[in-house]
Structure 1
Amino acid sequence: AVSQTRSTTSTPRRSRRRKSVAIAYDEPGQDEGAEPQRPRWEPRDWQEQLERIREMRRSRDAPVDEMGVDKCYDTSAPPQVMRYQVLLSLMLSSQTKDQVTSAAMLRLRQRGLTVDSVLQMDDATLGQIIYPVGFWRNKVKYIKQTTAILKQKYGGDIPSTVEELVQLPGVGPKMAHLAMNIAWDSVSGIAVDTHVHRITNRLKWVKKETKYPEETRVALEEWLPRDLWREINWLLVGFGQQTCLPVNPRCSQCLNQDICPAAKR
């Protein structure tokens, strides 16, 4: 008889994996050994400061409220024409008081402000109409160049992205973000002008002092909640025109005097 032999080959053992133990500060999905996430930086007292600025701006009677860029275009114009007028008012507003920009836009609109009407206008006439806006000679050149590009490349409309807008002659980041906001009803970023730049540095709303508005924009967007990005330009521009002036700010009239790092007490 043939004896049957039982196989003595044993099943190899599965290697045990070390089970990682979650630590209290671990974030879900965080790699083992990675440092815990630190709380996002935000300025001291910023929410209280913001609420007090809103209170000071409640009357909405600053120049920006009555003659700002969003008041300069023809609301009854076709959307494409309206957007073009928004862009032109932004180009004129650089280094120019709201009152002067508003008056120049009114004179342009009285002649029929469209892409075609500007292209048909000679430089001397355009200069006479927009004078005395700041750097009006340069703006004549930029307006004509930009308008030609809009006609050739965008069918008379304005670009719908910040990246394309800043490629236009005479259009910077602040103008581009405001154009997105006003013309396209899209919040693409914080529009930082000289008022926003000055006030946010005074309030220490930037982690370290910034020298240029674009630096300030980047610093603000790192911590300021996105749902405030649209409001903050209008709010601080008017506040800067009436209270937090470039020279001799009216600290004695400011509700933030006791919690403002730059206040004169």
Structure 2
Amino acid sequence: MPQVHWKTNFCYVVRTLTMTSPYFMQSRPVITRSGDQNAASLRSKLTTRRRNQGPGSSVEVKVEPEEARISEQRPSSAPLSTETDALPLSSHSRRRKQLKVEYDEDEGVPPVKTEHWEPPDWKKQLGYIREMRSSRDAPVDNMGAEKCYDSDATAHVRRFQVLVSLMLSSQTKDQVTAAAMKRLRAHGCTAESILNTDDEALGKLIYPVGFWRTKVKYLKLTSAILQKEFGGDIPDSVQGLVRLTGVGPKMAHLAMDIAWDQVSGIGVDTHVHRISNRLGWLKKPTTSPEQTRKALEEWLPRELWSEINWLLVGFGQQVCLPVRPLCSVCLNQHSCPSAHKSSPTKRPKAASPCSPDPTSASTVKTEPGQESDVKHERLKKEPLPTPVSPNAPKRKIKTKVKY
């Protein structure tokens, strides 16, 4: 029984405190955290107005309590009362003072600048090369890809012939390429005509270009793609051109320049690759034409990309030869770091060859992805087979017998 009496007294005390607590009494106004007493008075006014107004003003009554609720949530702009000032504020309710952050400027420290590398004296060297090429009498000037297409043909046929001439010119002298293109144009140099020509007849038309057997296969595969996807025309982008069989980056950039009149990059062949390394036009020596192209495009102004191939190819055909370059007649002999290292004592005669056969095994350079076909082609270096009559007498082989 004493335990029950104790529980009863405890519940009575709790109920008394609950009923007498100011937080549970409806008559006393509640002081908000921000010290706004206007909310309590506004609530009492709204209650009185509800009683006095009739049922027709229900819309206004609904709107005003919403405004009252919003006003309770917003901090009041009125000054705090004395009762509110007396209450201690927690650390979270204090308004922190905003600090203005200023950064000291580093005086005397220059901004970091990225240096644009370019070879020394390259403008002077380029001017001398232009002067040496002013006569325009190199093989590339008269028999290059710009001179091998039929100017009277339609636009898409001309572009196709430019691509064919570039494909044939790989590892082949310009004189041989021009003669092969002349025979192809007489036969009909279009994608459709090449597809309708058998391999043996096509090989006789382009012979003796370097690796003519491999190029017969490339021409057939490329013509089939162009006829099916482009209607006999060639793609108008480097990405589309390099997808074609037997077309590398050098051919693609030259085709974009000659056929489409768009400069997409520098066409780097064996001459541009060799001369750029000899002149020191690269940050470090390169081992492939594609590396040379990327290194040249990093510093050479874009307005010179189209001209540089024509200048250096003709310069490499006449003066800066692959073997025994003619440094004694070169205007850059005093600024070229490779001058007079392998130059002959006197100019060779016009009738004597100045450079080895570009189709020989020692000087062959291929486009990326063609190494296996070129290696297979080297094993078949004999000329076109001549047909043998079945009635021809057979030659007897004599053997010597030693006793």
Is TM-score (shorter-chain normalized) higher than 0.5?
Answer: yes
Question: What amino acid is the match of 2:99?
Answer: S
Greater Cα shift, 157-166 or 195-204: 157-166
Question: What amino acid is the match of 2:110?
Answer: Y
Of residues 105, 112, 129 in structure 2, which corresponds to 1:21?
105
Matched, 1:82 2:167: no
1:111 Cα shift?
Answer: 1.5
1:137 Cα shift?
Answer: 0.2
Q: Which residue of 1 aligns with 2:271?
A: 195
- SS of equivalent to 2:260: coil
The higher relative CO (CA closer than 8 Å, separation ≥ 6) is in: 1
Of residues 237, 240, 244 in structure 2, which corresponds to 1:168?
244
Q: Distance in 2 between matches of 1:4 and 1:82?
A: 90
Q: Which residue of 1 aligns with 2:288?
A: 212
Structure 2 residue ranges without an equivalent (≥5): 1-78, 86-92, 342-403
Aligned length: 254
- SS of equivalent to 2:245: coil
Q: Which residue of 2 aligns with 1:251?
A: 327
Matched, 1:151 2:235: no
Q: Which residue of 1 aligns with 2:125?
A: 49
1:4 Cα shift?
Answer: 7.3
Q: For 1:36-185, what aligned pairs fall within 5 Å after superposition?
A: 36-185=112-261
Larger Rg: 2
- SS of equivalent to 2:307: helix
User: How big is the alpha-carbon RMSD for the aligned residues of Structure 1 and Structure 2?
Assistant: 1.9
Q: Which residue of 2 aligns with 1:240?
A: 316
Cα deviation digits, residues 148-188 of structure 1 (max 9, x gap): 00011112111111111111111111000000000111111
1:17 Cα shift?
Answer: 2.6
Gap change, CA 1:22 and 1:111, over 3 Å in 2: farther
Q: Distance in 1 between matches of 2:306 and 2:99?
A: 57
1:243 Cα shift?
Answer: 0.3
1:14 Cα shift?
Answer: 2.3
1:38 Cα shift?
Answer: 2.4
1:22 Cα shift?
Answer: 6.6
Greater Cα shift, 142-151 or 107-116: 107-116
Q: Distance in 2 between matches of 1:40 and 1:206?
A: 13
Gap change, CA 1:257 and 1:143, over 3 Å in 2: same
- SS of equivalent to 1:54: helix
Of residues 294, 298, 318 in structure 2, which corresponds to 1:222?
298
Q: Which residue of 2 aligns with 1:31?
A: none
Cα deviation digits, residues 126-159 of structure 1 (max 9, x gap): 0000000000000000000000000111121111
Q: Distance in 2 between matches of 1:81 and 1:126?
A: 18
Q: Distance in 2 between matches of 1:204 and 1:85?
A: 35
Q: Distance in 2 between matches of 1:98 and 1:4?
A: 97
Structure 1 residue ranges without an equivalent (≥5): 27-35
Q: Which residue of 2 aligns with 1:30?
A: none
Q: Which residue of 2 aligns with 1:32?
A: none
1:15 Cα shift?
Answer: 2.9
Q: Distance in 1 between matches of 2:125 and 2:80?
A: 91
Q: Distance in 1 between matches of 2:291 and 2:133?
A: 26
